Amino acid sequence: MAAGRGARVGVLALQGDVREHAALLAALGADVSLVRSPAQLAEVDGLVLPGGESSVIDKLSRLFGLREPIAERIGAGMPVYGTCAGLILLADRILDGLPTQLPFGGLDVDVRRNAFGSQVDSFEAELEVPALGEEPVHATFIRAPAVERVGPGVEVLARVDERVVAVEQGALLGTAFHPEVDGETRFHARFLEHVARVSGP
């Protein structure tokens, strides 16, 4: 597959399921790097925020001097795809975050952490995602968040029991689930399309 041929993308590699995202993006033809510093961030045209623990990624992003550079790049139009904890970090508001926790922001949504329960409440579901075609998306939810408010510029891509679990706003894409653990490539391919449009030929 060559959906991302030549695209320079990074995976924020502070904590979480970094390798799974990197492998999937590479399989789609992207030039993938692991981002742990502002210098590495400056070299990519798009960024994936992986699943993990949102509060830990928040703390580490500050420690590594990445929080402000990432927020600035998002504000400047860099395509970003956040899964699970990445969706939480991409949201403008975390409804039940820790007192010191700050998201990178950019996505005009309110997100609730662990909206479906704890680790033992993890589940799988088949989702209808018309934007990705007729074939359902097999989605794995692990301590998953949910979107509880959607801004006027945000498109809802998928729901579970009326709860919003996938959204898109311009070049920003977020899912409450983990396509990378199921070999589902369509969300990452859509992210790479955003990168191609922003970075040009």
168 is catalytic: no
Can 84 be counted among the known catalytic residues? yes
In whole angstroms, how far apart are CA 146 and each of 45, 61, 112, 155, 197?
A: 27, 23, 6, 14, 28
The secondary structure of 116-184 as a DSSP string is T-SGGG-EEEEE--GGG-SSPEEEEESS--EEEEE-TTPEEEEEETTEEEEEEETTEEEESS-GGGTT-
Cα(45)–Cα(13) distance, rounded to whole angstroms?
16
Q: What is the DSSP letter of 188?
A: H
Nearest in space to 17 (alpha carbons), one of 131, 143, 165? 143
Catalytic residue among 21, 84, 168, 194: 84
User: Residue 147: how many CB atoms within 10 A of its CB?
Assistant: 24
Please pick, among 178, 184, 188, 194, the residue that the annotation labels catalytic. Answer: 178
Of 21, 180, 188, 194, the catalytic one is 180
Q: Collect all residues with Cβ–Cβ distance below 8 Å to 131 and sequence separation of at least 6.
A: 155, 157, 168, 190
Residues known to be catalytic: 84, 178, 180
